[in-house]
């Protein structure tokens, strides 16, 4: 069994880039028990062997998805959204006046709370964005998470996590015991299934990329490859925003931190210019 679990950890890493620590092998049994029951498989050994064999793609996908951590909530790490509203969005509106186009990518969007949080902020700034083409593309490896995200339907616990009551009443409609986000916001977010280990160059460049709280699950080489490719997807003058505990140190020389934004990075020459502005402001104060 130990050898099989080692192979399974290697299998998950190869498929998703996610590192399953050996001291958390108990999670394999716990998370895969519902998959065993749903497929009437009598032992974990049989399930792992069939999943790794790949002869049943649907089963393999179910096993992979069961091992994913889909933790998210509305306005997670509130200071990031405050800076987005007060600093990043006004700056991008000014910088993109000639094209009047704004593209945002939420990578590893899980069940959709992050892109919908951004959609609410954009809706609050509708007057400044009148006549603009605004795209929010949200991706995730999990088809189950994306199904929830596309529906925009959340239970009471989920809407209570981070969502101010005023925004709940303004942007959601009660449906029995759950809440559905307003259709005009739901239609503004395009959800796509994407494994970050795969090529995403065809998606084009983005003015702002949110890739938060997912790199922590990857090994250093996978982080380096993803960040290297993602840095090429940041449009000139754009932003890459990571999770609060994540950074690009030693992983993406093309990006440098912007001191105004928690875990915010920009193409290096823009980040350095912003740092000089912040430094001059500090001297004047």
- Residues assigned a catalytic role: 31, 140
CB < 8 Å & 24+ apart, contacts of 192-196: 192/137, 192/138, 192/139, 192/146, 193/139, 193/140, 193/141, 193/142, 193/143, 193/146, 194/107, 194/139, 194/140, 194/141, 195/15, 195/16, 195/141, 196/17, 196/107, 196/108, 196/141, 196/226
Q: Nearest CA to 257 among 243, 275, 245?
A: 275
Distances (CA, A) of 210 to 71, 156, 225: 15, 26, 17
Beta bridge partners of 192: 139
Provide the token pair at 261. 């934004």
Q: What is the dihedral of CA 102, 110, 217, 253, to 10 degrees?
A: 0
Q: How far is it, in rounded angstroms, from Cα 194 to Cα 206?
A: 16
With CA atoms as reference, report the closest residue to 112 among 181, 54, 184: 181
């Amino acid at each position: 069994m130990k050898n099989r679990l080692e192979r399974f950890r290697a299998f998950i890493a190869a498929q998703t880039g996610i590192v399953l620590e050996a001291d958390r092998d108990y999670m394999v049994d716990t998370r895969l028990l519902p998959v065993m029951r749903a497929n009437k498989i009598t032992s974990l050994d049989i399930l792992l062997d069939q999943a790794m064999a790949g002869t049943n793609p649907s089963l393999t996908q179910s096993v992979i998805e069961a091992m994913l951590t889909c933790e998210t909530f509305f306005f997670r790490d509130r200071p990031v959204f405050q800076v987005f509203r007060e600093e990043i969005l006004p700056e991008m509106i000014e910088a993109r006046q000639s094209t009047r186009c704004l593209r945002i990518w939420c990578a590893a969007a899980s069940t959709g709370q992050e892109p919908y949080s951004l959609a609410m902020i954009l809706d609050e700034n509708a007057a400044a964005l009148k006549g603009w083409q605004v795209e929010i593309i949200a991706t995730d490896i999990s088809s189950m998470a994306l199904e929830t995200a596309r529906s925009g339907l959340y239970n009471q616990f989920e809407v209570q996590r981070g969502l101010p009551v005023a925004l709940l009443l303004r942007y959601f409609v009660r449906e029995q015991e759950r809440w559905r986000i307003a259709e005009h916001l739901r239609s503004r977010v395009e959800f796509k299934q994407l494994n970050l280990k795969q090529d995403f160059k065809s998606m084009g460049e983005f003015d702002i990329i949110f890739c938060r709280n997912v790199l922590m699950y990857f090994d250093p080489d996978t982080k380096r490859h993803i960040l290297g490719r993602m840095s090429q997807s940041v449009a000139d003058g754009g932003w890459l925003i990571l999770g609060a505990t994540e950074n690009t140190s030693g992983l993406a020389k093309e990006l440098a931190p912007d001191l105004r934004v928690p875990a915010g990075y920009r193409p290096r020459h823009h980040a350095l210019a912003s740092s000089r502005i912040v430094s001059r402001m500090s001297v004047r104060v």
